[in-house]
Structure 1
């Protein structure tokens, strides 16, 4: 029996954010594509087994792929986990520094000497939310020629792991806990003066508490300002899948390209599908991702996209979020793309 016939299951996972994997899953394209190979797709993040769910963050499962925020897979690679970077999606989203009315903070320069809250999770899984908030702070301050040394960074300690966010009665039947709750609580208690928020949960919580937006930069013209954990997002596969079945990786990318092409012609459907994916209203999705969301769900591996991931990887290393540094180009695997081009010419 050949190896081609021995693979009956592939694990996959995605973040609850706009991605072509999420779109292709809802459209049934991924199940259809892999069913033709006799392969069942199994969701990592929906597993009841905590050890399996942890692969969403450390990418330890063989024959698996992941599409979503880039901090966990970058961290996993820095720890030596054998994975390959095979695709990148750049979908811009709302990113802002917010405060409460009455703090006297009107602009970014008013943050000088004030307390900026960063939620911190216990050791274990890489603290991707802390990394995201720090990059947002650094980006915002840089626009005014300031640095993190110009503010007082205050830790907001959280008692549980991100894996615990999908367990327990406090979810009230929902799949995920509302983001930014502890940060907003710290604002309301007067323990911090400003926080970072992003995406649909960020714009939702900012609206709920009628906060003041100090600065918003999720759609800034300089891509290095916008670069963060979700801008851009990456598609990674484990080494066994990449080496044993590169044809399946190529099939995966082709399927995502189909979903991306479909999206461009169906803006209303995309907004509805993404709203279902992120657990928000279509109105919030439109506000968080802009009117052209359907045009920004493509996937590629162009040099500028790879450079963007390298830029953020360097930031994570500088701030101590990585086990060790590594060469982005040695992580990138362009073989599936070459196979797709060969098929197109044949």
Structure 2
């Protein structure tokens, strides 16, 4: 009982993308579930303290959980940070290679010998956007039996860390800067011939500049083509929470399953909630995530989902985005799911 009373606050964070955590937060389900345990939830990414916000990427805070893109937590695990993988959500989204209509690039095969731009952040936090663009390029080329060696990869250097620039007049009062600005600028300046974009920001910027879509593969039938930083997204908890209070991790997962079930019955509301989460219009959300978004906000830990994360982990290691390799199964923690089954049986 002493252990149960020891936790009064849990840190949490999620990416500005469609997730059950984002949905459960907006519905008030998470606050309600943890308030019953006498626990307050505090947002990592909304903290004014840079050291706390950095846990969104390196997962260093005790008694915390994270749901979102998989590159930072995979990197954190490769560095030895003690975390557990407890849930996976697969929500497909728009993924494409785009170019300017004047480039002469019409199909994927036209990319051979051309310049593909990848934005690169300074050393520090894992460069998850560069990892995402790299996998997007590899997936697109693979559809035509091509490899990245046949394309001229050009780095687009960025000067600021992903933790910087969350305040100031350059945001014009918005929460975040529009993604893909440097990539589009390089495209317009003629420094690169093509770039990768994804999700709601990707479809918005492609629309804004009336770009030509070389290839779109976010909904391709082969999951290994679709696998990337956001497909699938993962739920991770730190080791202290997993070991000291597995009951709370089970409560977390159970609450997310409630949110997922609610989503399946409320497609219109889901689109509206996700639009608020990602900072886009409902029209953009529908275009980027498809008409059945409400059916793809579930949470699970099935073998095929774990295999997908393992596949992407191996890609990240091969491309030098990880500190070292590790066995994906040693990261997975199925105990909270067993606890949920026990509760259901009772």
Deviations 1:180-214 (A, max 9, x none): 00000000000000000000000000000000000
Q: Provide the secondary structure at the position in 1 that maps to 2:136.
A: helix
Q: Provide the secondary structure at the position in 1 that maps to 2:46.
A: coil
Counterpart Cα distance in 2 of 1:345 and 1:55: 36
Measured after TM superposition, the shift of residue 6 of structure 1 is 1.4
Deviations 1:211-239 (A, max 9, x none): 00000000000000000000000000000
Q: Provide the secondary structure at the position in 2 that maps to 1:155.
A: strand
Measured after TM superposition, the shift of residue 170 of structure 1 is 1.1
Measured after TM superposition, the shift of residue 152 of structure 1 is 0.1
Measured after TM superposition, the shift of residue 173 of structure 1 is 1.3
Counterpart Cα distance in 1 of 2:15 and 2:324: 24
Deviations 1:57-88 (A, max 9, x none): 00000000000000000000000000000000
Aligned to 2:93: 93
RMSD of equivalent CA atoms? 0.6
| TM-score normalised per structure 1 | 0.99
Counterpart Cα distance in 1 of 2:173 and 2:41: 24
Q: Provide the secondary structure at the position in 2 that maps to 1:164.
A: coil
Counterpart Cα distance in 2 of 1:341 and 1:253: 12
Counterpart Cα distance in 1 of 2:25 and 2:45: 14
Counterpart Cα distance in 1 of 2:234 and 2:38: 26
Measured after TM superposition, the shift of residue 169 of structure 1 is 2.4
Counterpart Cα distance in 1 of 2:110 and 2:193: 11
The alignment covers a number of residue pairs equal to 346
Measured after TM superposition, the shift of residue 165 of structure 1 is 3.6
Q: Provide the secondary structure at the position in 1 that maps to 2:11.
A: strand
| TM-score normalised per structure 2 | 0.99
Q: Provide the secondary structure at the position in 2 that maps to 1:149.
A: helix
Measured after TM superposition, the shift of residue 45 of structure 1 is 0.1
Deviations 1:295-328 (A, max 9, x none): 0000000000000000000000000000000000
Q: Does 1:154 align with 2:151?
A: no
Deviations 1:100-146 (A, max 9, x none): 01110000000000000000000000000000000000000000000
Measured after TM superposition, the shift of residue 38 of structure 1 is 0.4
In structure 1, stretches of 5+ residues that fail to align are: none
In structure 2, stretches of 5+ residues that fail to align are: none
Q: Provide the secondary structure at the position in 1 that maps to 2:196.
A: strand
Aligned to 1:44: 44
Measured after TM superposition, the shift of residue 166 of structure 1 is 1.4
Q: Provide the secondary structure at the position in 1 that maps to 2:85.
A: strand
Measured after TM superposition, the shift of residue 171 of structure 1 is 1.1
Measured after TM superposition, the shift of residue 167 of structure 1 is 2.8
Runs of at least 4 residues off by over 3 Å = none
Deviations 1:239-269 (A, max 9, x none): 0000000000000000000000000000000
Q: Provide the secondary structure at the position in 2 that maps to 1:154.
A: strand
Q: Provide the secondary structure at the position in 2 that maps to 1:156.
A: strand
Q: Provide the secondary structure at the position in 2 that maps to 1:34.
A: helix
Q: Provide the secondary structure at the position in 2 that maps to 1:192.
A: coil
Deviations 1:149-181 (A, max 9, x none): 010000000000001141332111111100000
Counterpart Cα distance in 2 of 1:58 and 1:293: 29
Measured after TM superposition, the shift of residue 345 of structure 1 is 1.0
Counterpart Cα distance in 2 of 1:239 and 1:173: 37
Deviations 1:255-302 (A, max 9, x none): 000000000000000000000000000000000000000000000000
Aligned to 2:247: 247
Counterpart Cα distance in 1 of 2:166 and 2:313: 27
Counterpart Cα distance in 1 of 2:74 and 2:168: 29
Counterpart Cα distance in 2 of 1:112 and 1:157: 23
Counterpart Cα distance in 2 of 1:166 and 1:272: 24
Measured after TM superposition, the shift of residue 18 of structure 1 is 0.1
Aligned to 1:267: 267
